[in-house]
A and B are shown apart, each in its own frame.
Chain A
Amino acid sequence: MSGPVTGDAQQPPSRDDEGEERIGLFPSWKSLYTTVVVYGVAVILILYILTIVLGFSSR
């Protein structure tokens, strides 16, 4: 196989991947993940508001 196994099978993520590397518009991975979580919460809130605002049933 051209891709041999390297190192420990249960190696934890190393710090270099979790550090302050810039990811496009985001200054770090932490800020990108935070944005995704905030986005997920915002989507739920927007859908909830749509549920309330766009419910015209008079029954």
Chain B
Amino acid sequence: MTSLDWGVFALYFVGVIGFALYQSRKNEGLEGYFLGNRRLPWWAIGLSVMATQASAITFIGTTGQAFDDGMEFIQFYLALPFAMVVLCLVFVPFFYRARVFTAYQYLEQRFDAKTRSLTGLLFLLSRGMGAGIILYAPAIVLSVIMGWDERLTIMVMAAITILYTMVGGITAVIWTDVVQMLMVFGGIAVALVALFANLPADVGLAEAVYIGGIQEMWQSIDLSWDLTNTYTIWSGLLGGFFLFLAYFGTDQSQVQRYLTASSLKDSRLSLIFSAFLKVPMQFLILSIGVLLFVFYHFEQPPLVFSPAEVEAVAVSDRAPDFRLLEDEQARVHGERRAATLEMLEARRGGEDVEVWQGRIGAYDDRLGELRTEAKEIVEEVRGASSNDVNYVFPTYIISYIPTGILGLLIAVIFAAAMSSLDSEITALSSATVIDFYKRFFKREASDAHYLLVSRIATLFWGLFACGFALFAGQMGSLIEAVNQVGSFFYGSILGVFLLAFMVKRTTGTGAFLGLIAGMSTVLLVSLTTEISYLYYNVAGAVTVVAVGTLVSGLTGEGGLSGGEGESAEAHS
């Protein structure tokens, strides 16, 4: 990066942190720290909801995914508008009226302490490690691409995030997220414009879209009934619907956001905001990947984008095989480039281009096969699956984006990571203090005491995430395991909340045993079937509701309002 890039980069950080801390100056007490005194505007919360969901890997990983597989990933988000309506109608009113600090606190009001504690504990375990991965994933990519020290990158990102989160609490987090989300929108626009500008001068938008269409990269909807395929319209609508209900309706990192609104109306509007914007945003991010695919028809891409993976293969006994693949890739790419230019010329002259389409499609297929073979060599040498897709977009911006804009796009990647991390550590801190410290260790203390403990908890979780990220490189497949952990109990936790909101006679014991049964079912399904993980959420939620209702009916404990347990906070 040049000094101009560094200047843009530094300006961004100083500006955004200063702005966030300025906005949080009026915060008072614990409610100010965790809920912004419930006076934040809905549009700011809505942007924060989006920023929390969109981590850096969403930005750099899904562009790489679209480069390889086209737009199919968009199906994952198609249920989001429908889920948001259900959340606004069913979930948000209960949380808002209960005046809770955390989603799990509501479960004690409704059921009992053990149900609250188990769900809270599951959140702390999964999100604590997840926060580490939010840091690690972009840091490793940036360090490899930019030549920065990996550990220093992690520590700088963590230190800045911990600083403004500790000092400013949720208000600083939400206002930082607002700026960071606007940065992401700007970054998407800049990336798209830059990609068009980097295409050959005589290749217009319609022709770029056409080239992508030859390999069916714009295929967004897959109607096939294949339960093992993660990206079909059915997995997106059914599995995605349950996943988004669980994520936005039961995960403290999202629930905490809409609890900061000044009214129930504003809480709902913050979610509706996301319902309208999320799918178009994801469409544009994936379009960057497809346009990268088009761009690399005219410029030769690396066979494998991750420099670390290429270096590992280069010093292995598979290096000769890899070089053969690279040579063939260069040859096929040259032929495809020539055929693409000829086809565009013929198309402009009104000629039939079907023959060229067939040839280019065959070249695309061959280049795809070569990339798959190369990644298989990488996996064999490294003993771990290739994460090459995360390097496709960063490699492009380093190689082809002009100075100044490069600094902006690197800042966007940082912003995306930090806007997710800050939300996670605030949510982890609130669950730690409200659901455990205040509930089990110190029920009566001053607001100042809880505020101090909350800041310490924020620091702890920030350092925990940083520590996890620093050692993540040595954890190998554990990273994948952590990524999958959420899908094992997300649906089950959703089931508990569905019981709380919709099945009046559910008892605390019924909900707790339902939760255990739900998680056991998901584990069984994952071990004995090949179905996509998106369906785990459906299996977990349905099992919890069925078992919870059955057990509550059999034990006959009543269980209308308040259930077996009464909230400790109710008496404070």
Interface residues of A (CB under 8 A from B): 1-13, 17, 21, 23, 29, 32-33, 36-37, 39-40, 43-44, 47-48, 50-51, 54-59
Known: A1-B572, A51-B220, A58-B358. A10 touches B110 (CB 8 A): yes
- Classify chain B's interface size: 35 or more
A50, B220: Cβ atoms closer than 8 Å: yes
Given contacts A2-B29, A57-B361, contact A36 B81 (CB under 8 A): yes
Minimum C-beta distance from B348 to chain A (A): 16
* Contact of B30 with A9 in the complex, beta carbons under 8 Å: no
B381 at the interface (CB under 8 A from A): no
Mark interface residues in B423-467 (1 if CB within 8 Å of A CB, else 0). 000000000000000100000000100000000000000000000
Q: How far is the CA of A11 from the CA of B272 in the complex (A)?
A: 23
Task: Give Cα A54 to B228, complex, Å.
Answer: 26
Q: In the complex, are the beta carbons of A9 and B98 less than 8 A apart?
A: yes
Query: Which residues 183-234 in B have Cβ within 8 Å of A in the complex?
Result: 209-210, 212-216, 218-221, 233
* Chain B facing A: main interface SS: helix
Check A17 against B93 for contact (C-beta < 8 Å).
yes
Q: Which residues of B contact A (CB under 8 A)?
A: 29-31, 35, 71, 74, 78-82, 84-85, 88-89, 93-94, 97-101, 106, 109-110, 209-210, 212-216, 218-221, 233, 264-265, 268-269, 272, 275-276, 279, 354, 357-358, 361-362, 438, 447, 500-501, 504, 560-563, 567, 569-570, 572
Measured CB to CB, the closest approach of chain A to B442, in angstroms, equals: 12
Residue of B nearest to A3 (CB): B99
Query: In the assembled complex, which residues on chain B have CB atoms less than 8 Å from the CB atom of A3?
Result: 31, 35, 99-101
Chain A residues with Cβ below 8 Å from B562 are: 8-10
Instruction: Look across to chain B and name the residue whose beta carbon is closest to the beta carbon of A59.
Output: B361
- Cβ-defined partner of A57 (8 Å) among B35, B209, B215: B215
Name the B residues within 8 Å of A43 (CB-CB).
78, 81, 279
Q: In the complex, A58→B354 CA distance in Å?
A: 7
Q: Which residues of B contact A7 (CB under 8 A)?
A: 97
Once A10-B561, A47-B220 are accepted as A-B contacts, the answer to whether A56 and B30 lie under 8 Å apart by CB is no
CB-CB under 8 A from B561, the residues of chain A are 8-11
Asked if A4 contacts B357 (CB within 8 A), the reply is no
Chain A residue numbers with a CB within 8 Å of B212 are: 54
Would you call A40 and B81 a contact (CB within 8 A)? yes
